[in-house]
Chains A and B, each alone.
Chain A
């Protein structure tokens, strides 16, 4: 009975071996020597630069400046360094902190002039003989023609070499800040597109729904009232202003409302099957990413068909991700046309698929685009994969 843990022996021996192997791997990798001093210097410089880059890519603010300043000082090898914003000091790195208060004043001339400026020793006038902060070179950071801040490099004595080095580093910072600006505008474009999509859902659908409701007003007022309320709820959800993400449950509710309205129009011709795993209901998905797919299934799949049609919506739990598919047994689509839509080339009323595809890729990466299986007359199946968790993605 008490063969105390020969199981555990094997487990643990395996673990220890694995641990040692990993440790050795890191050791070997870490110690892999560089050939020449030039290699080492290149590595050191680029490594510091790569450490300073991520904060700067968030844009210029106190937090990012503070995190980047440490690496920038290493990069320049100066005693002290300050990053100044338009009006305020963002970060001071190194000794001589008592001079931090004047940093904005030191940078003013350079920022006004829009070119590098050397602050002479008289202007700093330090009483403390040990203080390394004696003079400075200030390089303004000009992004898109606007001065957004300045890099002040302090040293005992400003040499021509330091001025050039500071200029180069500031230049590099500017390129990072421009990239940050680019990131921001890319996000803005995606947001704008999202807004465009919201506005886009409706035209056909609004018209069709309203006419369908109108047809019920006399014959079945209860039904008409129900449908109007559904319609109100649906527009409320679609036109909500906040949040890029929503839960799969909410998306499905919205799709449900949409389908009720469609069923009012198609009647028994439209059959809908749902196979939803409850585990994935709380997964965060891009806002309104399902409805265009269902709308597509109704319009391209069933709309032109005379007989009745069936739409199947599936959501399955698949390990670290959730798989969603929307399938119809309608007339199918032309693969070339779908390809064009996904590439964003087709205009007009079929913007939906391409837009959903683009948003999925933008949020989760290129491997998470839409996959469409279709052929003329063979129905259509659109597959979506969504990771269950992604840092920064939260339903709101």
Chain B
């Protein structure tokens, strides 16, 4: 890939973000007409902003990667990501907007009047946001590596640095505009190359996607290994190798391509012309070192990364077939759906955006538009997933299926056009990282500065560092899960902690502070423990592993049960008057509460018909001008 164009795209996104964030407000509001200035943001623009902030690395890169590797079951992610807003719309949006709470901890305090619940909620906000930030930063690292060959940590540092500096400097004074622009950038960046992709597929004679074959190389293909990888060869094949393979080094690039310095090695090897050695790969497991280049002949099946089972097109396209080697597909799919359906409302950066709506009804209308926009967007990543198996099956070998969206445009479209498309995709990807990461950083910084540093201006600056640096450290120290999977875990924790708090808090008068506390700790704690255990012992087999890898299906019911039971046990702590007050505020439409609100001019003008004669008279008598 051409690094210059990619870097230009990256820089353009960052500069545009900062520029619009700082000056957009100024340009759009420099007017002496107050009505224009203080007019609320329109639902469409607001919906774009919400969608823009929401479409993260998982949506832009991860969905395509997972669908490519594990088949249509993984459509549960995009379906869940979008449908989460339906649940939000039905159960939470309008009452939450009316409650006056700006953050999830605010809501906890408002509804339950307890600072203890508030603290726990604040901690959970930070945990969820960090879980969510890490894959964003890793996605950035992966993208920059794919585009320019820099080491993984570089992209993460660029994005985290930009976001922390901008939010600490108070640059994101009005993020709605920035996020709205980012949505449209992302939509274009994924839609235009997808169009070319489909055209290329048609040109190639519409090769079958759901046939009986496993993915194979369409023609002679050079596979560049960026990170060390182990792969399974199922049929003997002779490949031309340069770099490290199975502990030996081949070709003239010898000695460079050992472990570490992945980017450097890959870079030097692109200098072409060095010698390669033909190697016959026997059936079984092989390992390639970073920087190695394997040239496969056309027509042979693609060896898959260890742990990924080759699936025929038919299996890939059949729901619940467990394509790619995922165990208990039925359970996993339902668990993912539950986590994403119920987790969306508990994400710290989603709630804030609803405050740009003037009232509860506008909040509902906005959510509806968000659903439409997200649905349109999510139609596109699966296209990359499906066609990636045809055009870029080598990603199944290198394990970098998350880069499908980035590399496919250039594979199907040669020349300058291909490079431009790739740069567009890169810009979209960075828009995804930056918008989500900045939304999360600001949310966490607000919570941290308010609850830990007692809310001074300098406090907010430090809080931005607290919010941005730990995930950066985690992201650079690890290589990570598939992006969409890692984000699925953040959703699972949110679904098992904040979803019960919000749903019960809004719709059940009986919720007590003790009950809520118990539910938050039990649900959030169990989900977190599941995440810990899974990651310590790695992917396992059998039911225990499945339950731990996708915990939402059991942690969410547990959280609800504990919250309800705890509240029933501590019924004595309810203060009916306080509950009445909060419930009334959340559920009474604004037209009723703001009785004085509607403009007084029309009704006052109507009735006194007799006085109307006074008004037109001067009109007629003294023509203006």
Contact = CB atoms under 8 A, between A and B. Distances in A.
Interface of A: 1-16, 63, 217-222, 225, 229, 232-233, 236, 240, 242, 249, 252-253, 255-256, 259-260, 263, 271-279, 281-282, 284, 316-321, 367, 387-389, 391, 393-396
A205 to B, nearest CB: 17
Contacts of B130: 11
Contacts of B32: 263, 271-274
Contacts of B318: none
Contact of A317 (B175, B305, B463): B175
A221 B622 contact: yes
Contacts of A395: 100
B102 A249 contact: no
B615 A225 contact: yes
Given A4-B481, A15-B127, A318-B457, 15 more contacts: A1-B308, A7-B134, A8-B532, A9-B536, A218-B622, A249-B38, A263-B32, A274-B32, A279-B356, A282-B100, A282-B358, A319-B446, A389-B110, A393-B100, A395-B100
A319 B172 CA distance: 10
A389 B103 contact: yes
Contacts of A253: 34-35, 38
B463 A319 contact: yes
A5 B356 contact: no
Contacts of A275: 25-26, 29-30
Interface string B17-46: 000000001100111101101101100000
A277 B25 contact: yes
Q: Which 8 A-B pairs have the closest CB atoms?
A: A256-B34, A5-B535, A12-B532, A8-B535, A277-B174, A1-B399, A274-B37, A221-B618
A249 B590 CA distance: 14
* Chain B at the A interface: SS class: helix
A4 B450 contact: no
Contacts of B575: 63
Nearest to B489: A8
Contacts of A242: 596
Interface stretch (B207-215, B265-273, B469-477): B469-477
A11 B593 contact: no
B251 interface: no
B34 A6 contact: no
A19 to B, nearest CB: 9
B531 interface: yes
A281 B474 contact: no
B106 interface: yes
Contacts of A232: 600
A319 B535 contact: no
Interface in B349-364: 352, 355-356, 358
Given A319-B460, A396-B593, A7 B486 contact: yes
A279 B535 contact: no
B346 interface: no
Interface in B298-338: 305, 307-308
A277 B176 CA distance: 9
B535 A274 contact: no
B143 interface: no
B34 A11 contact: no
A9 B478 CA distance: 9
Contacts of B600: 232-233, 236
Size band of the B side of the interface? 35 or more
A8 B486 contact: yes
Interface in B570-591: 575, 577, 585
Contact of B460 (A273, A318, A389, A391): A318
Contact of B38 (A11, A281, A316, A319): A281
Contact of A274 (B29, B356, B486): B29
B238 interface: no
Interface in B104-158: 106, 109-110, 113, 127, 130-131, 134-135, 138
Given A1-B307, A389-B102, A12 B528 contact: yes
Contacts of A393: 100
B342 interface: no
B622 to A, nearest CB: 6
Contacts of A388: 102, 106
